[in-house]
Amino acid sequence: MTKVALYNTKGEKKEEITLSEGVFGLPANPDLVHQVYVAQTANRRSGSAHTKVRSDIRGGGKKPWKQKGTGNARTGSIRNPIWRGGGTIFGPSKNRNYSKDINAKMRRKALLTVLSEKARGGKLVVCESLVMESPKTKIFCELTKALGVETSRTVGLVPEEKSTYKAARNVPKTRVMETAKLNVMDLLDTDVLLVSRDGIAQIEQHFTA
């Protein structure tokens, strides 16, 4: 049975809550987590790096000199890759697709595995509520300091806590998203997952449906 401490906004421990074994009690599966992480990073690549091949270089329509009789090596175009200013061989192309397919069951299981590791490793911090009356960055920073969450963190929010998004979105080392949109890449790239009691309920409801 997996349990985690529940803190108030002052960082005081109030009680322990029991987490769903189907979401926070899965065994480690590093191979699956690695496969999903690689796929997600690949799918986020923009693929914007691009070099020009010889057909993209301007000019070069005329043969620089005749084939024989000049003493020079034969060549057909100034766009030849071995010429200065010519095309590039085997350079990156914006037409390349880096995306990798990963099925939904694998993606879901990898996410639950990472959530389970966060809970076991003490990297899951649960607060009574993350609702903020005023979306002030200073208030959010005071909250994370009281909770001892000063390393890199992912903040999972429910719709009722949308004001916290405005307060946390510009804080360094912080990624903010809805709990229903948690993913392997963001959880592994940050040290701690910070959610509210309602966030835990939404995670368990969403990922066990």
Tens-digit pLDDT string for the chain (209 aa): 788 999 998 888 888 999 999 999 999 999 999 999 999 999 998 888 899 988 888 888 889 999 999 999 999 899 999 999 899 999 988 888 888 999 999 999 999 999 999 999 999 999 998 988 888 999 999 999 999 988 999 999 999 888 889 899 889 999 999 999 999 999 999 999 999 999 999 999 988 75
Helix axes 104-120, 30-43, angle to 10 degrees: 120
Report the SS3 class of residue 113. Answer: helix
- Answer whether 164's CB lies under 8 Å from 140's CB: yes
- Which residues have C-beta within 8 Å of that of residue 13, sequence separation ≥ 6? 5, 6, 7
Amino acid, single-letter form, for residue 122: G
Among 59, 81, 97, where does a domain finish?
97
Does 109 lie in the same domain as 17?
yes
Nearest to 153 by CA among 110, 100, 193: 193
- Answer whether 187's CB lies under 8 Å from 114's CB: yes
Residue 78 domain boundaries: 48-97
- Tell me the two tokens of residue 61: 């329509």
Supply the CATH number for residue 179's domain: 3.40.1370.10
